[in-house]
Structure 1
Amino acid sequence: MDIYQANGAKVSYPIKAMDGAQIQSFNAAEGIRYGVLFTFAKGAVVQDLTDEHLKTLGREMALVHQVSSTVVLKYPRKEFTIDTMLLQPLAVFKPAFEGLEEEYAYLTTAVVQVVIEIEKLDLSKFSYGYCHYDFLPKNFHFENERSLTFFDFDFAGKGYLINDISSFYVHYFMEVWSGKLTQQEADRAFAVFVESYRTVKPLSEEELKAIPYFGFAFWIFYLRFQYENFDDWSSIFFGPKYLKQRVGVIKQWMDWYISPSPNS
């Protein structure tokens, strides 16, 4: 985070103690626990993004990517690959689909299809670096239309930077899916974001055309995250009803962007 801050990226960054340390230890009931204090991200989440918000977001995300595509961190981070985004998650969350064999079979078929499509891409031409991998509006605050702060880099890892842009596109998919926007309105808004991004960093048409596949991978990756972090207190919604609904959302993504069914 210090690297982002030093290069002018708008991120929440860790605050050092008087001795220069960033990681602090705390005596807790469970024993010693560790934590980091970050600067406050001024402002608030904005779901209904105006063109000015989108111009700011595109420009600032591109600046983050300018930094993350050129640095090499001292300590390794996880990598976002076909295996970690698609194949491993499918195996990991399989036990949760007991009694939902039809839904799991659908996900298996869809994963295979998307893997085939990704393997057709010339990924050597895609920008690569450290991804935030959760660029939904809940993870950046706008102080005003021209000022924002990114935070929540918990998923950060190495991968194709189109992963980040795809995770943001999920926001517009959900806006259309929920009836808040038409697809035409969502596409126009996303184009404003892309145009602003390109004023700072190149973004090829080939990368944009890959959003359906990398966006699908985000859904599968996130389902694994929810499964592995489920407990009776923080994720009481996670169960058969939720999984059935979530697979329905993923089917809609597939129908709209990847493999339309005859009745779509």
Structure 2
Amino acid sequence: MNIFPTQYSLLSAKALKDVIEQKYGFHEMSCRLLIHNVSDTYILENETSRYIFKIYRDAHRKPDEIKGELELLNVLRERGASVSHPLKDLEGEEIQAFNAAEGTRYGVLFSYADGEVVADMTDGQLERVGTEMAKIHQITANLELSHPRGEFNLNTMLTLPMKTIKPAFKGLDKEYADLGEVVNLVFKKMEQMDLASFGYGYCHYDFLPKNFHFQEDGNITFFDFDFAGKGHLVNDLASFYVHYFLQVLFNRLTQEEADRAFQVFLASYRKVRPLSSAEVNAIPYFGFAWWIFYFKFHYDHFEDWSNFFFGPKFIKERVGWLKKWMDWYIVK
């Protein structure tokens, strides 16, 4: 029987459980879908153990890119960073292949990050985030992986996204023009920075609280390095500040409270790794670029992600957020 062309399948949790048990020597595991998103995440558990199994999509990550992510995680773990890491099967393989409806999909079993997400962090937790992020950057600075990962630069963060998302602004010409003016301003400001003096290496590029868990004893584990790529390390500090922008935007914190919390984080980071005042001053600009980069991501993966919220309402709201970011943080 011919299979009708498919762009995004959903693999059976029951069938995955059987395959994973056989390949990894597990017994009496349960398996359920945790997230159906840009990739699919399943949780496997029994009375004593828990694991995460991630199924990638070819449209999002090619095999070499997956190998790059796993290589990075293995380096981080070997050098003492607290990260969720890939696990090998009984034959020593980290990547599994599945003949899905749309073609081959690849899966990886990861250690489980114990603990939970904490959005309203204490000073002690902020200090831990700063220390551990700095440790990760100490490892990734000037690191060169043998497998390719994307690069975060002015083109990939600003120029290319603006070209890509233009068709989505049909009928929203003013919004696109307004956004374009701001992007040009940020581009010129960043172009004038002494970027060669900034720390450079592999960034996580999504350092939001949803991607690290705190345990009761205060330990922290980072996960979801799906977007990890080469770039200025200040990108990670900027993505962490996005959390505080959203906290202020939704009236969960005052700007003063958000800034104080971020300063606690920065002070802790600086105890482990040097950070110039120029890099700190650049955080708002790299944060703006972060938003533009992910604007492109939302557009690119609208269909495959079942991203039902991407449309005129989403675009207008997001442009409004970006205007607030400019008004609050960037000197024109």
Query: Is residue 121 of structure 1 aligned with residue 175 of structure 2?
Result: no
Residue 48 of structure 1 pairs with residue 120 of structure 2: yes
Aligned to 2:238, which of 137, 151, 166? 166
Among 257, 262, 268, the residue aligned to 1:196: 268
CA deviations over 1:37-77 (Å, ceiling 9, x no partner) = 11111111111011011011000000110111032100121
Give the secondary structure class of the aligned counterpart of 1:38. strand
Offset of residue 146 of structure 1:
2.1
Matches within 5 A, 1:124-163: 124-144=196-216, 146-163=218-235
Q: 1:247 aligns with which of 319, 323, 329?
A: 319
Cα distance, 1:20 vs. partner?
1.0
Structure 2 distance, partners of 1:98, 1:136, is 31
CA offsets, 1:157-189, max 9 Å, x none?
A: 100000010000010111111111111111110
Do 1:52 and 1:145's aligned partners in 2 also have CA atoms closer than 8 Å? no
Partner in structure 2 of residue 217 of structure 1: 289
Instruction: Write the mapping of 1:1-264 to structure 2, written as runs, cut at 5 A.
Output: 1-144=73-216, 146-231=218-303, 234-259=306-331
CA contact (8 A) 1:170 1:215 kept: yes
TM-score, scaled to structure 1 = 0.95
Amino acid at match of 2:98: F
CA 1:69–1:31: 2 relative to 1, 3 Å: same
The CA distance in 1 between the partners of 2:237 and 2:259, in whole Å, is: 14
Moved over 4 A (4+): none
Structure 2 counterpart of 1:138, one-letter code: K
Letter in 2 for 1:55: E
Gaps of 5+ in 2: 1-72
- Percent identity over the alignment? 58
Q: Distance in 2 between matches of 1:255 and 1:86?
A: 19
TM-score by length of 2: 0.76
The one-letter code of the counterpart of 1:65 is H
- Going from structure 1 to structure 2, the CA distance change for 1:145 and 1:136 (only over 3 Å counts) comes to farther
**Runs of 5+ in structure 1 lacking a partner?**
none
Superposed CA deviations along residues 58-101 of structure 1, whole A, max 9, x for unmatched, are 00000110111032100121111100000000000100010111
Residues 188-241 of structure 1, C-alpha deviations (whole Å, 9 max, x = no match)? 100110111111111111100001110000000010000001128621011001
Checking the alignment, whether the CA contact within 8 Å between 1:43 and 1:142 is kept in structure 2 is yes
**Which is higher, the Rg of structure 1 or of structure 2?**
2
CA distance in 2, matches of 1:189, 1:67: 25
Letter in 1 for 2:272: V
Q: Distance in 2 between matches of 1:57 and 1:172?
A: 14
Distance in 2 of aligned mates of 1:233 and 1:178: 25
* Deviation per residue, 1:8-32 (Å, 9 max, x gap): 1011100011111100122434444
Tell me the distance in 2 between the aligned counterparts of 1:26 and 1:233: 19
Tell me how far apart the structure 1 counterparts of residues 103 and 191 of structure 2 sit (CA, whole Å). 47
Whole-Å separation in 2 of the counterparts to 1:144 and 1:251: 38
Q: Structure 2: which amino acid aligns with 1:92?
A: T
Matches of 2:102 and 2:283 in 1, distance apart? 43
Letter in 1 for 2:193: L
